[in-house]
Structure 1
Amino acid sequence: MSAVLKSAAPAPRARPLLLHPAAKPLLFVLCLLPFAWLFHGAWANTLGANPAEALIRSTGDWTLRFLCITLAVTPLRQWTAQPALARFRRMLGLFTFFYVVLHFLSYSWLDMGFELDAIVKDIPKRPFALVGFTAFLLMIPLAATSFNRAIKWLGAKRWQTIHKAVYAIVLLGLLHFFWMRAAKNNFAEVAVYAGVIAVLLGWRIKQRW
C-alpha cells in the first residue's frame, strides 16, 4: 500500500528559473533600462520640446510603477505558488528609492537650479509637491533599513512596523500623481494606477481579515 502511495505522489518540481543565479542580475539590468532610456534621451536630446519636464515626470512615473511592482510581489507569490519571488522584493524596493531620488534631483536641478531657499519655499506652496516630498521622506528610512543587519538591529517586529509605511507612501504617491495630472485634466492613467493600488491594498486587507 505504501508503495502505491509513493508511486502516486507528485514528481519533484523542477528548480524554478526564479532561483537561477542569473535571475537577480537580469532583474537588475531590467530595472536600469528606464534610467538608460532617459539618460540616452537627455544626451541625444530626444525627450521632446521640454526635456526637463519629460525627465521630471518620467522619473516620477517610474517611481510609482516600481512601488506597484514591489507591492505586487507578495500577492503574486501566493497566487502563483512561487515563494522564490520574495527574493526580488528588496531589489525592487531599492530601485523604487533610486527612481524617487532621481525624481527629486531632477526637480531640484531642472526646476529650481539647486537653489535650496527656492526649494524650501516652493514645496509648501504647492500641495502636490508637499505630498510628493512627504512620500520621499517616508521612503528614506525604508531604504536605510532594507538590509539584513538592520533587521537584526531593529528586531523583526519593529522592522516590519517601519516598512508598513510603504502603504502610506503608495497612497501619497497616487495623490501626488493625481494632482499632477489634474492640471491637464488627464485622469486616464490615474484611474489605472488607482485600480492597481486598490487591488494590491484590498488583497492585504482581505488577508488580514
Structure 2
Amino acid sequence: MKNNIVARHLFIGSIAIFLTFVFWLAHFEWHDEMRLWRAFGDAGYALLFVTLIIGPLIKLSSRFTFLLTWRREIGIWFAVLAVTHGLLIAHGWANWDVAKFFGYEFIPQLGRIARIEPGFGLANTLGFVAFLWIVILAFTSSDRAMRWLGASPWKWIHTGSHIVFYLVAIHTSYFLFIHYTESFHKSVPPQSTFVIPFILMSAIVLGLQITSYIKTVKSKNRRIPQK
C-alpha cells in the first residue's frame, strides 16, 4: 500500500515537474527569476484545474469515478507548486519585505513609502489568503488527518478548495490582465502565454460546476414527491 502511494506521487510529481518545465520554456522572453516563479504558478493552476473538475465530472457521469483515486495526489502536488510559487516571490522579488509584497515601496521623490499599484496589494492579499488555505489543505490531505479531525470538519476544510480556486483565479487575473500591461511608469514583459489556457481552464471549471449543480438539483427535485 505504501509503495503504491509513493509510486502515485512519483507519477503525479513527474507530471508537475514536466508542466513546470513546459511553462518555463513558454516564458522564454521573461526575466529568469520571473520566468521561474511564473512557471510554478501556471503549472500549479493547471493541477488545481484537474483537481476541481474531477468532482463535477463524476456527478455528471459515473464513467469518471476512476479519477477520484488520483485527486488527493494531484491536489497535494498543486499545493507543492503553489507554495513554491509563493516562496519564490516572497524571497526572490519581495526579499521578505511585507510592505513591498503588498504594494508599498520607498519613493525617492517623495522621501517616504507609498503605494505603487492600486490593485497590487489586493491581488497579493488574495494570493496570500489562498496560500494559507492551500497549506492547510495539503497538511490535512491524509487518512490520518481525516480520522483525527472527523469526517464533517475535514470535509468542511476541503470544501475550501473551491474558495481557493476563486481566490487564485482573481489573483491570476489581475497579473495577467492588469498588472503586466502597458503603463506610463514602468516597462512590462511580453504578454504571458498562459492567458488562453487560463481563460479556458477557468471557464471549464465554472461550466462544470454550474452544470453538475443543476443536475444535482434536478435529481433531488425528481425524488421529492409531488403533493
Same-fold call, TM cutoff 0.5: yes
Mean alpha-carbon deviation: is it higher for 29-38 or for 134-143? 29-38
Residue 152, structure 1, aligned to residue 147, structure 2: yes
Task: Please tell me whether residue 70 in structure 1 is matched to residue 51 in structure 2.
Answer: yes
Contact preservation (8 Å) 1:135, 1:169: yes
Deviations 1:34-69 (A, max 9, x none): 345678x7xxxx944511221222222122211110
Decide whether aligned partners of structure 1 residues 29 and 197 sit closer, same or farther in structure 2, where only a CA change above 3 A counts.
same
Find the counterpart in structure 2 of residue 101 from structure 1.
83
Query: Residue 15 of structure 2 is aligned with which of 21, 30, 43?
Result: 30
In the alignment, the residues of structure 2 paired with residue 23 and residue 139 of structure 1 have an alpha-carbon distance, to the nearest angstrom, of 20
Partner of residue 4, structure 1: none
One-letter identity of the residue aligned with 1:206: I
Unpaired runs of 5+ residues, structure 1, are 1-18
Identity rate, percent: 21
Which residue of 163, 166, 169 corresponds with 1:168? Answer: 163
Deviation at 1:107, TM superposition (A): 0.5
8 Å Cα contact 2:21-2:39 kept in structure 1: no
Match runs of 1:124-143 below 5 Å: 126-143=121-138
- When residues 161 and 23 of structure 1 are mapped into structure 2, their CA distance, relative to the original with a 3 A threshold, is closer
Greater Cα offset, 98-107 or 23-32: 23-32
Question: SS at 2:96's partner residue?
Answer: coil
2:37 corresponds to 1:56: yes
Shift of the 125–49 alpha-carbon distance from structure 1 to 2, 3 Å rule, reads closer
How far is the alpha carbon of 1:135 from its aligned partner? Answer: 1.1
Count of equivalent residues: 185
- SS of structure 1 residue aligned to 2:72: helix
| Contact 1:135/1:172, CA 8 A, preserved across alignment | yes
Name the SS for the 2:63 alignment partner: coil
Match of 1:195 in 2: 203
Secondary structure at 1:166 match in 2 = helix
More displaced, 53-62 or 156-165?
53-62
Q: How many Å separate the matches in 2 of 1:95 and 1:180?
A: 23
| TM-score when normalising by structure 1 | 0.73
Taking the aligned partners of 1:92 and 1:141, their CA distance within structure 2 comes to 15
By relative contact order (CA 8 Å, sep 6+), the higher-ranking structure is 2
Q: Matched residue of 2:81: which SS?
A: helix
CA contact (8 A) 2:102 2:125 kept: no
Give the distance between the partners of 2:206 and 2:89, measured in 1 at CA: 28
When you count helix as a share of all residues, which structure comes out higher? Answer: 1
What RMSD in Å do the two structures reach over aligned CA positions? 3.1
- Please, which moves more after superposition, 184-193 or 162-171? 184-193
Query: What's 1:92 paired with?
Result: 74
In the alignment, is the contact (CA less than 8 A) between 1:181 and 1:190 conserved in 2?
no
Name stretches of at least 5 consecutive residues in structure 2 with no aligned partner: 105-114, 183-190, 218-227
Structure 2 distance, partners of 1:207, 1:65, is: 25
CA distance 1:145–1:38, change in 2 (3 Å)? same
